[in-house]
Structure 1
């Protein structure tokens, strides 16, 4: 696909007088209706779908895409074309992302300028959607380790189990906690304890694939959701975790190891029973640990 890098670099400021500067009352009413519709959603793809209906009055395109550093989306049914026309979107001279049209025919300068004016109605709804998604991400993230938190775990486990039941596959769950972590916190303070947790989270991250999800519930409690799993998969991941922990210098210095409990879902499981069984296996593993000694 050939790309034409023609960008809009104008200083974009929201000004109602410039948005509705035409004497055509019907056109002004259309713009007002579009502005209202764009404010009805904080979902990026929905905003692009709404905007695409108006943009289609001025140009034929097979796809409409928005991309920023933090988020990307596209119009429903988007398809690539022979060329791409790019617009750089800004708010008060602050770059927010790139809007691109997939086109098969050249875009005239007049059309290009009409779309630039329409984009003034689009930039703030797009920015609101980006801020909303960022807030959602923070609400689902553990502040210390960057892993998913308990809220995200609950949502993802429910979705994964529902998908597995439809596909005839299984979800595996591994729960983890650290041995001697309380002794480290009590003896060396929370600063060292936090670093131990970060190192353990990093060790876990090295042991899973992109399709497997990591979470921290709080304290030293962690969980891994493994989709399309089998007993062998869980055994391999557990082996990797024990190896990664044993190779971590900081965890070794403070004599911290990990206990793991794992299980596979059954057809009668719900989210609670699956977790309870994995947690029970974790407890059995902790009972096998030698008596805890004070950290030296």
Structure 2
């Protein structure tokens, strides 16, 4: 474990006492209760909040920050002159490449040796549960993310569109669906190889994300097939988003070099739509766009 202790006035490195000849600070009953609480959830936010409540009862801990993957979870309130202790945790091995997470503890005052020992014992219990929760998160991401682009995959799309349909039926709202296919993409793979093809796909994914709002969702189904779910959208708004994305592709140097554009099929949610019916409608529109000159948008 890598541990550092810092304050606004200094940046010195210290270590928590993990080995001590003294008796444990926690009683067996206290350890069991903490372990029971920590093992009750694999939700990282809930687990972190529960851990902070336990810490703040026993130590002058004012806040806790957990950083992992591309996520940051915070609980409590860090004070201006608080002491920060950072502890690194590694997880994912032997199931895959070791992953790194970091806990940043904020304390209102310097910990005594006994308090450090107490923190060491509580952290040891939490770390075991945290590794399980982090590994669960990592595996769930593998199940719902496209590994090349970082977009959602088909399973993630299926879950998202089902939730949107339920919400829109309940609230009498609508949403948009855009289905994309890259024109002339096969020639990139054939002429320059799959590495360059992957470069084109990842750049297109970036353009998709840039062209969407934070409330919208982008997915890759495989190959050069992508789609977007536009929340609380109208047919005209769907077309505007599609135009913005196709124009950004046309203006991008990489796509110009390879003569790659994109065709789009667009549609909006209708009452009584199912996940299958709305996708079939957008996919049919995409087929028409591909066969009417490419670099085209067809709405259905």
TM normalised by structure 2 equals 0.75
Listed as ranges, the gaps of 5+ residues in structure 1 are 291-296
Name the CA distance, whole Å, in 1 between partners of 2:107 and 2:271.
45
Match of 2:138 in 1: 134
**SS of equivalent to 1:204:** helix
Alignment equivalent of 1:164, drawn from 162, 165, 168: 168
1:26-72 superposed Cα distances (whole Å, 9 cap, x missing partner) = 921220342244234321123234435544543588x7543214333
Shift of 1:278: 0.9
Match of 2:159 in 1: 155
Q: Is the 8 A contact 1:234 1:262 kept in 2?
A: yes
Pair 1:194 & 2:198 matched:
yes
Name the CA distance, whole Å, in 1 between partners of 2:21 and 2:228.
50
1:124-158 superposed Cα distances (whole Å, 9 cap, x missing partner) = 32233223322322332222222221122122222
**SS of equivalent to 2:279:** helix
Greater shift, 205-214 or 186-195, is seen at 186-195
Pair 1:89 & 2:96 matched:
no
Shift of 1:185: 2.8
Change (3 A) 1:159 1:10: farther
1:216-243 superposed Cα distances (whole Å, 9 cap, x missing partner) = 1001100011111112221111111221
Name the CA distance, whole Å, in 1 between partners of 2:274 and 2:291.
26
TM normalised by structure 1 equals 0.76
Change (3 A) 1:19 1:36: farther
Match of 2:184 in 1: 180
Alignment equivalent of 1:232, drawn from 226, 229, 236: 236
Shift of 1:12: 7.1
Name the CA distance, whole Å, in 2 between partners of 1:19 and 1:234.
67
Q: Is the 8 A contact 1:212 1:227 kept in 2?
A: yes
1:59-102 superposed Cα distances (whole Å, 9 cap, x missing partner) = 588x7543214333356xx6x4867664423459x984235469
**SS of equivalent to 2:58:** coil
Q: Is the 8 A contact 2:88 2:100 kept in 1?
A: yes
Match of 2:103 in 1: 98
Shift of 1:111: 8.0
**SS of equivalent to 1:68:** strand
Pair 1:277 & 2:281 matched:
yes
Alignment equivalent of 2:124, drawn from 120, 123, 137: 120
Shift of 1:264: 0.9
Aligned residues: 276
User: Which of the pair is proportionally richer in strand?
Assistant: 2
Pair 1:288 & 2:292 matched:
yes
* RMSD, matched Cα: 3.6
Q: Is the 8 A contact 1:207 1:241 kept in 2?
A: yes
Listed as ranges, the gaps of 5+ residues in structure 2 are 1-6, 91-98, 295-300
1:185-226 superposed Cα distances (whole Å, 9 cap, x missing partner) = 334432333233233223323322222211110011000111
